[in-house]
Structure 1
Amino acid sequence: MRRAGYLLLIGLLAVMLAACGQGKNDNAGGNAGGNSNASGGTNAEQPAGNAEQPDGGAEQSFRIAISQYVEHPSLDATREGFIAALKDAGLEEGVNLTIDYNNAQADSTNNLSIAQKIAADKNDLVLAIATPSAQSVAQMVKDTPVLFAAVTDPLAAKLVDSMEAPSGNVTGASDTNPAAVQQLMDFIAEHFPDVKTVGIIINEGETNAVVMAENAEQQLAKHGIQAVRAAVANTSEVKQAAESLVGRADAFFITLDNTVVSGVDAVIQVANENDIPFFSSDRDTVERGAFATVGFKYFDHGYQAGQMAVEILKNGKKPSELAVTLPDKLDFILNLKAAAEQGIDVTDEMKAVVQDPENNIIE
């Protein structure tokens, strides 16, 4: 019995020692696991933290809606410059940028429908090209940053309440500098002494066109030159309006008038057939066949707007923090081929006003 009891005691001690040893191993494993979990836990959380950093995880993408009033070279170049500025800043369509492009084809009903559609969509930013599009978009879109481009007078169009510090969600790039119209009218007065009347083809439904026409009329009046308007309601009326000025006007002038610019080939035709000097407000029209302007490249203008978009999308700026920009590369642009078509004798004095003749005297 004693021997059996002794053996039983030894067995119990062995079991207890094994259990203690196992417990010690479990604790060691637990500590190792704890250290591993602490380390592993830190490592597991780190990638998630990195994913929230700008350089970690999936790259942020953006969606921009564009409302363009009509297709013509100046507005198209504006859009192209805008997109180029985004690409140069690392925002590329099809990679991390989606662009919803809409064109109203100069139809006011389409223009309003596009603005309503854009307002209902989820966008990170909206670009409105030309005054009618900007007015509709600004009216409809209230919670998304809105930029405009190819807008002549943002104040008169009631898009902003201040050029320097807009108070709402709208800002952008104006495509005119009042000095440009003044310089062009002074050029006409100085170099075309036989011009006593300037015919202005205009859609008076476009605020931007009216503002520029009034500016031109005021500048011409200083030189004793009369302005005569020929009004149009749509592009199909442009040729008839130009023809109505033959015999009443010694020269033609058009503003940044989307309706008229869309039908500018008709004005060029009438000017060429009747030897009437034709002056415009944009470079693209001069490249197509007008004689002269004081202007800039609309691609550069759109690029300015694109740089503003980058400030908003990538740098967190608000539209109210971005002043409205103006063209800063004004120069005279002359088309010598158009001059020959319109019976203009281009003098050395005329050429001398061009600061960059290599790029701005078109042969």
Structure 2
Amino acid sequence: MKLNSILKTSLLAAALISSGLQAKPVYVATTAIVEHPALDAVRDGIKSVLDESKYKGDELKFTYESAQGQPAIAAQIARKLVGDQPDVIVAIATPSAQAAVSVSRNIPVVFSAVTDPIGAKLVPTLEQPGGNVTGLSDMVNVKQHIELIKEFVPNLKTLGVPYNPGEANSVSSVAALKAAAAEMGIKVIESAAPKSSDVMIASKQLVGKVDAIYCPIDNTIISAVESVIKVGIDAQIPVFAGDTDTVARGAVAAVGYNYFDLGRQTGDIVVSILDGEKAGAIDVKLAKGTDLFVNPKMAARMGVDVPEAVLTRATKVIK
């Protein structure tokens, strides 16, 4: 009888496995408003943490979808993901996060690379926000960014900023930039680019009006930043960025986050939720760490020298 019982148990287990009734892997669905190096690095950082956790290999289903820069597509993706019923939705950048939060009632949503989660109405507070939403903010110290620009352009009086007024994170960043610049006697001139195809025109409108151009962490601008760089070279106006990844693409310099590390910080939040912690009980985290990237070749092409003090403390010099 004992042997028969063991055989029956073994046969039952085999039947369950063969019929596909074995334990399902956890499902983490990831989406971003657009593909560009900084947001791609966030996604890769999240995946790297999951691959190091117990939720890896056959224990993990990980998907990624890009909204191709279109909020309407972000909304479609969010609705689709809610229908797919993943264990966690990870939304990278403000428009994708807003889309996911607006339709997800029970599925935990973890946002990342969101500048102002309260202003974007993702959470009511950063501490234990409640509900099913938490995440990580990449709010930057814009005063530090202006101070870096002034090292290259000591007589900085006007700073041009192309941005998408439809992105909540950009509106918050520009408002903070204007406040910090005003304290330093610097005028900020805005130029709107609602779509990636508008970035070139928005940048050209700054020519003759500004001493330098600053590209904030704006997904529309960053997705087409080569247009800004071209204007900077042609008009001999140095272009700076709010994220370090853009320096390799042609910006003169930037002080900002390592977005792969930011993704890893986000991945830690995802693992906590998969382990059973409630999203709303997890404080919204502020990104940690800053890097200084410098591109001397592009500085020369835009007519400025790289100060020795900047080179000395640079985390990375683009060759």
CA distance in 2 between counterparts of 1:143 and 1:292 reads: 42
CA distance in 2 between counterparts of 1:149 and 1:110 reads: 18
Query: Which one of 42, 52, 65 corresponds to residue 88 of structure 1?
Result: 52
Whether contact under 8 Å (1:189, 1:223) holds in the other structure is no
Query: Which residue of structure 1 aligns with residue 262 of structure 2?
Result: 301
* Residues 204-236 of structure 1 deviation map (CA, whole Å, 9 limit, x = unaligned): 010100111111111111111111001011000
Query: Which residue of structure 1 aligns with residue 15 of structure 2?
Result: none
Distance 1:91 1:337, change over 3 A: farther
1:151 aligns to 2:114 (yes or no): yes
Whether contact under 8 Å (2:92, 2:113) holds in the other structure is yes
CA distance in 2 between counterparts of 1:260 and 1:295 reads: 16
Query: Which residue of structure 2 aligns with residue 218 of structure 1?
Result: 179
CA distance in 1 between counterparts of 2:254 and 2:216 reads: 10
Query: Which one of 82, 95, 98 corresponds to residue 61 of structure 2?
Result: 98
* Residues 307-328 of structure 1 deviation map (CA, whole Å, 9 limit, x = unaligned): 1111111x21111222212221
CA distance in 2 between counterparts of 1:118 and 1:186 reads: 42
- Number of equivalenced pairs: 312
Query: Which residue of structure 1 aligns with residue 204 of structure 2?
Result: 243
- Which residue identity does 1:234 align to in structure 2? K
CA distance in 2 between counterparts of 1:191 and 1:130 reads: 30
Which structure has greater helix proportion? 1
TM-score normalized with structure 2 length: 0.91
1:173 aligns to 2:136 (yes or no): yes
Whether contact under 8 Å (2:108, 2:279) holds in the other structure is yes
Distance 1:64 1:222, change over 3 A: same
SS state at 1:252 partner: strand
Query: Which residue of structure 2 aligns with residue 64 of structure 1?
Result: 28
Taking the TM superposition and a 5 Å limit, the aligned residue runs for 1:181-196 are: 181-196=142-157
Query: Which one of 303, 309, 312 corresponds to residue 343 of structure 1?
Result: 303
Query: 1:42 Cα deviation (Å)?
Result: 10
- Which residue identity does 2:222 align to in structure 1? V
- Of residues 163-172 and 188-197 in structure 1, the stretch that sits farther from structure 2 once superposed is 188-197
List alignment gaps of at least 5 residues for structure 2: 13-20
Query: 1:246 Cα deviation (Å)?
Result: 0.7
Whether contact under 8 Å (1:280, 1:293) holds in the other structure is yes
Distance 1:292 1:58, change over 3 A: same
SS state at 1:239 partner: helix
Q: Which has the higher contact order (CA 8 A, sep 6+)?
A: 2
Q: CA RMSD in A?
A: 2.3
- Which residue identity does 2:48 align to in structure 1? A
CA distance in 2 between counterparts of 1:216 and 1:182 reads: 7
Whether contact under 8 Å (1:78, 1:298) holds in the other structure is yes
Query: 1:40 Cα deviation (Å)?
Result: 8.5
1:324 aligns to 2:280 (yes or no): no
Query: Which one of 114, 121, 132 corresponds to residue 95 of structure 2?
Result: 132
- Of residues 315-324 and 230-239 in structure 1, the stretch that sits farther from structure 2 once superposed is 315-324
Query: Which one of 221, 225, 232 corresponds to residue 271 of structure 1?
Result: 232
Query: 1:101 Cα deviation (Å)?
Result: 2.1
Query: Which residue of structure 1 aligns with residue 220 of structure 2?
Result: 259
CA distance in 1 between counterparts of 2:180 and 2:253 reads: 17
1:360 aligns to 2:310 (yes or no): no
- Which residue identity does 1:361 align to in structure 2? V
The percentage of aligned residue pairs carrying the same residue is 38
Whether contact under 8 Å (2:258, 2:291) holds in the other structure is no
* Residues 122-158 of structure 1 deviation map (CA, whole Å, 9 limit, x = unaligned): 2111011110010010010111111011111111111
TM-score normalized with structure 1 length: 0.80
Query: 1:99 Cα deviation (Å)?
Result: 2.3
CA distance in 2 between counterparts of 1:125 and 1:103 reads: 17
SS state at 2:289 partner: coil
Query: Which residue of structure 1 aligns with residue 16 of structure 2?
Result: none
Whether contact under 8 Å (1:204, 1:210) holds in the other structure is yes
Whether contact under 8 Å (2:152, 2:306) holds in the other structure is no
Distance 1:243 1:76, change over 3 A: same
CA distance in 2 between counterparts of 1:109 and 1:191 reads: 40
Distance 1:79 1:223, change over 3 A: same
CA distance in 2 between counterparts of 1:317 and 1:335 reads: 43
Whether contact under 8 Å (2:152, 2:305) holds in the other structure is no
Higher alpha-carbon Rg: 1
List alignment gaps of at least 5 residues for structure 1: 1-35, 49-56
- Which residue identity does 1:286 align to in structure 2? V
